Amino acid sequence: MNLTSEQRAELIRLAQAARQRAYAPYSNYWVGAALLTASGKYYQGANIENAAYPTCICAERVAIFQAVFEGESDFAAIAVVTANGGTPCGSCRQVMAEFGLQTVVLIADAEGRLVQETTVKELLPGSFGPSDLKT
């Protein structure tokens, strides 16, 4: 999907707003995400930490899981906003790959400056997916 400049701006704006809702008392690394589905709906997510670190969840997965819960599984783009324009972790990359390697990934800093525009496939080359389970 070719994103318009308005869609890019809206994704980053929504991810910035979502970042304000993060619960990150341990790392102090607040992350917001906004997902655009092929049907045109937007979903937001923020990272949520826990004192037992393995039970934390990233912003990207919150947005994706919410969309999937509401019946969406065809994604056009996702924006991720962090203080320094950090990229999605490996777990998030794998979850994004499940729903489409061509999904556009916008990575922006806290001020909303686009740091990188890429795809899930570029973030996770050689990904493991549903076709790998077929025998």
Active site residue 6: no
**How far apart (Å, rounded) are the C-alpha atoms in residues 102 and 9?**
19
Residue for token pair 């061509």: 102
Question: Which residues does 83 contact at the CB level (< 8 Å), separation at least 6?
Answer: 29, 30, 109, 110
Q: Which one is catalytic: 60, 72, 117, 122?
A: 60
What is the chain's pLDDT, residue by residue, as a tens digit (135 residues)? 789 999 999 999 999 999 999 999 999 999 999 999 999 999 999 999 999 989 999 999 999 999 999 999 999 999 999 999 999 999 999 999 999 999 999 999 999 999 999 999 999 999 998 889 987
pTM for this entry: 0.95
Kindly list the domain boundaries of the chain, sorted by start residue: 5-133
Cα separation, 75 vs 9, whole angstroms:
17
pLDDT of residue 78: 98
The predicted pLDDT at position 130 comes to 86
Specify the 3-state DSSP secondary structure of 70.
Answer: coil
Topology given in CATH for the domain delimited by 5-133: Cytidine Deaminase; domain 2 (3.40.140)
- To 10 degrees, the CA torsion angle through 82, 87, 89, 93? 120
